[in-house]
Structure 1
Amino acid sequence: MISLIVNLMLPLTLLCAVILLLHRPLLARLGAHNTYMLWASVPLLLAGTLLGLLVPARLASPSLEQLQHYRVLAGELLSQGDNPTLNLILASIWLLGSLTLLGALLYQATQLKRLSNRAEALELPQALSQGPLSLTGRETSLVIKCHPEIDSPMLAGLFKPVILVPTGFTQLAPSQQAAVLSHELKHLTRHDIAANLFGYLLATLFWFNPVCWLAYRRFRDDQELACDAEVITHMDKQQRIAYSQTLLAYSQQAHLGMLHTHYGNKTILKERIMQMKKTHTKRPLAILGLALTLGLSGALINQSAIAGDKHNDEHHDKAKAPSPVMRIEPAYPAEAAKQSVEGYVQLAFDIDKQGKVSNVSVIESSPAGVFDVEAVKALSQWRYEASPEGVSQAKVQLDFMMSAPKAEIERVRVTAG
């Protein structure tokens, strides 16, 4: 799991960083609605990267003819000491962080459910059921509730959505009430609650990456800007002014919830009002194409990085060389390190359908017997990609060196894995 997270993190971080850095010019040129659609490139990127990681494993030959080389450096291993223990600690920290965030999600879902149950149903004025709301289909059964603990209107609930409004909502002018409800209905028709949940779950997987949290926050803000753009499309000047006044009325610092929208948000209040002065044409197909391009580009970047890391040598046969998904570094024998002894061990082994290594044997070693025990012990713990038939008589060579070779020295294949 950790290996998969690491492989996905590079392209995801690059894509989010590009969108964040170019957000202002994109918003100015494309508009709020089109900019919000660009975030569709994130799931496309993840899907493309997963395909890039899984497909080669399915197409790989079940036999391994070429001898793979991996280097084992004395200095690095002696300083690292217990590498498996470190990996276990890091995995435990990641799991603890993810479970904590998932617990926060569950807690908020419980709180929202309790708040919704305690709220009083609000009857929609007849004047508001006509015109801009145009309730149809699923929207006709939507319940509007009022509760004093609510500071800003919100759409809450994934399977049974409800609009929750503050107690002072009924004191607003009918046009302002209609604007608020229209905004929340846009969230409903676009399934924004499900999108928010998906974004939050991604953030829990990469909780240690600050770029992902910045992107999640920007995604949520773009969501509100896009809803504003949808609502004001057919409004005249006076209606837009009333809508702006409604935003000012609910400009508190609303809590960014995972299972509800946040209508009132003073951090982007100025940005939302400025966007109301602009109109942009929707370009769903063009923006979807751009999002698809960004997603595929990120996946290609990731594949290039993996290729550069694993296939540097031009003589390496990629089709016949499955690479380990988890590689335990052999311990460099202390006595050999003290005497600056270098050498290699060639090993043969089998890989079962689950990717586990078995039947490890030494083909050749130099100096004989110096590195054999540590090489066999480490290789027995390696893990490869699962395959329908497994691999028999795979071969690998572990080069034990005191330091990394110079760049000008030509080797068949040297990699850190």
Structure 2
Amino acid sequence: MINWLMEQSILISLVSAFILVFHKPLLKQLGAHHMYSLWLAIPLMLLGSVVLRFVPNLLAESKIATFEHYRVLTSLAVKDSETFIPTPLVAALWLSGICVMAALLLLQRRYLDKLLRKSKPYTQNQSGELKNNGLMLADTLPILQSPEITSPMLTGVIKPMIIVPADFHKLTVKQQQAVLEHEQYHHERGDIITNLLAYSLLAMFWFNPLCWLAYKRFRDDQELACDAQITSSMNTDDKIAYSHALLAYSQHAQMGMLHTHYGNKNILKERIMQMKKYHGKSTVAIIAMTLGLSFASLMLNQQVQAGDHQSSSKESSTSSSKESSKESAKSHKQNVHPLTRVEPKYPKAAVEAKQNGYVKLKFDISKKGMVSNVKVIKSSPKGVFDKSAVKALKQWVYKESKKGAKGAKVQLDFVIDEPAANVERIKVTANK
């Protein structure tokens, strides 16, 4: 689990860093709606990781042929050193962070419950409609008023409602209508549930600073997308009035996990500048972007799950490479796929001695994909890496099959430095 979290954290960091670094040009080219949709890349990437764990042969490259070169690098696998934190302690720290995040969520739930109990119906909207010179906002959510908040917000998963501050009546009717439409659109788009899912992912990867930056930027893009929706049909005067409403509520608004935050002084200028631009919202474009992100996520996760394995073109000129090609082709036909591979530990003594080496292993695979009868065929240096390799291989899990496999063979290369051309590579065969 910890290894999976680390792998996904690296991938999330790459995607988040890309969006954060290129946010300004992407927003300019894509517009607020499509920029907000771009954040789908992260949950789709995590979903792709889960899919590939249960459906490893979804892509042709995920078959056993992709395991031709499996290297155990010291930078990834030195775990015997006393300087490393034990895995149970790492797991305990991670769970402690999740508990803190959950506690913060519960505290905000209590705050909102208390706020709702003290709130009263907004008296200027008795009929549930907002009218002025033919303008109407009908079928809106229940609107409450509270003196304890400084900015309008949408809250509630089961019973959603809009809460406005005590001075909301000071806005013009058009401004009130625009603000309420903004919060109503949050509801129609399901942003409260979306925010909960985003916070859940943040809680899972709380240790990654880029996740916190990405979460904040995601919430800001959410407000930009709502602004784009509401102001798309406004004339210049209405947009100016809407900007004044933003200015009035952008000084003290707080970001919450269970409510939206209409005001935001940190991106006030950005929100006002975006009103001068218009980018349409294309459903086809959003669907195409979602499908593209889904495919990219599957490919990216497939590369990570495959591990560190490379094929050596130099081997094609030697007699041993011809034999290994036949073995690999035979394995490919037999369709034996590892679902889970455990990284062997790089022995501390070998690290200190700067020793490279390899271990050739023979083993059986049951119908359920479990590994048994692991034996060392050959190793170099003899006895140095054998124990670590055997222990790791026993934990590998293969794809279930009707007959299993007998006499499967795998070679694990233990590498401190880049191996020379004559160092043997992994060769995997499965003989029934």
- Equivalent in the alignment of 1:25: 25
More deviation, 183-192/113-122: 113-122
For 1:135-284, list aligned pairs within 5 A. 135-136=138-139, 139=140, 142-284=141-283
Q: Give the match's secondary structure for 1:348.
A: strand
CA contact (8 A) 1:83 1:329 kept: no
Higher relative contact order, chain-length normalized (CA < 8 Å, sep 6+): 1
Give the number of equivalent residue pairs: 406
CA drift of 1:78 comes to 7.7
Aligned to 1:9: 9
Deviates more, 1:195-204 or 1:85-94: 85-94
Structure 1: 5+ residue stretches without partners: none
Q: Find the counterpart in structure 1 of residue 395 from structure 2.
A: 382
Instruction: Give the conservation status (yes or no) of the 8 Å contact 2:154–2:183.
Output: yes
Q: Is the 8 A contact 2:364 2:374 kept in 1?
A: yes
- Given that 2:252 and 2:263 are in contact with CA atoms closer than 8 Å, whether structure 1 keeps it comes out as yes
Question: Is contact 1:360-1:380 (8 Å) kept?
Answer: no
Structure 2 alignment gaps of length 5 or more:
314-324
**TM-score, normalising length from structure 1?**
0.80
User: Any idea what SS the aligned residue of 1:234 has?
Assistant: coil
Query: Cα–Cα, structure 1 residues 230 and 313, in superposed 2: closer, same or farther, change >3 Å?
Result: same
Distance in structure 1 (CA, Å) of the matches to 2:29 and 2:201: 28
Would you say the 8 A contact 1:346–1:397 is kept in 2? yes
Q: CA deviation at 1:96?
A: 2.0
- Comparing 206-215 with 193-202, greater Cα deviation is found at 206-215
Query: Does the CA-based 8 Å contact 1:152-1:165 persist in structure 2?
Result: yes
1:279 and 1:104 map into 2 onto residues whose CA distance is 38
CA distance in 2, matches of 1:407, 1:20: 40
User: CA 1:350 to 1:256, structure 2 compared with 1: closer, same or farther past 3 Å?
Assistant: same
Percent identity of paired positions between Structure 1 and Structure 2: 36
- 1:89 equivalent in structure 2: 89
Amino acid at match of 1:362: K
Deviation string for 1:19-68 (max 9, x for gaps)?
Answer: 222221222233222322322333333333432343126899xxx99998
Distance 1:331 1:249, change over 3 A: same
TM value normalised by structure 2: 0.78
Q: What amino acid maps onto 1:154 in structure 2?
A: M
Letter in 1 for 2:425: V
Q: Output the CA distance in 2 between the equivalents of 1:51 and 1:273.
A: 41
- Alignment partner of 1:329 out of 315, 340, 345: 345
CA distance in 2, matches of 1:285, 1:386: 37
Q: CA RMSD in A?
A: 4.1
Q: Distance in 1 between matches of 2:129 and 2:48?
A: 45
Q: Counterpart in 1 of 2:316? A: none
| Shift in CA distance, 304/149, structure 1 to aligned 2, threshold 3 Å | same
Q: What is the CA distance between 1:397 and its match in structure 2?
A: 5.3
Corresponding position of 2:322 = none
Task: Classify the secondary structure of the residue corresponding to 1:155.
Answer: strand
Q: Distance in 1 between matches of 2:96 and 2:108?
A: 19
Residue pair 2:152, 2:162 contacting (<8 A) in 1 also: yes
Instruction: Give the drift of 1:244.
Output: 1.2
Query: Which string of whole-angstrom CA distances, capped at 9 and with x for unpartnered residues, describes residues 133-187 of structure 1?
Result: 5323xx4xx2211222212110011111111111122233322222221111111
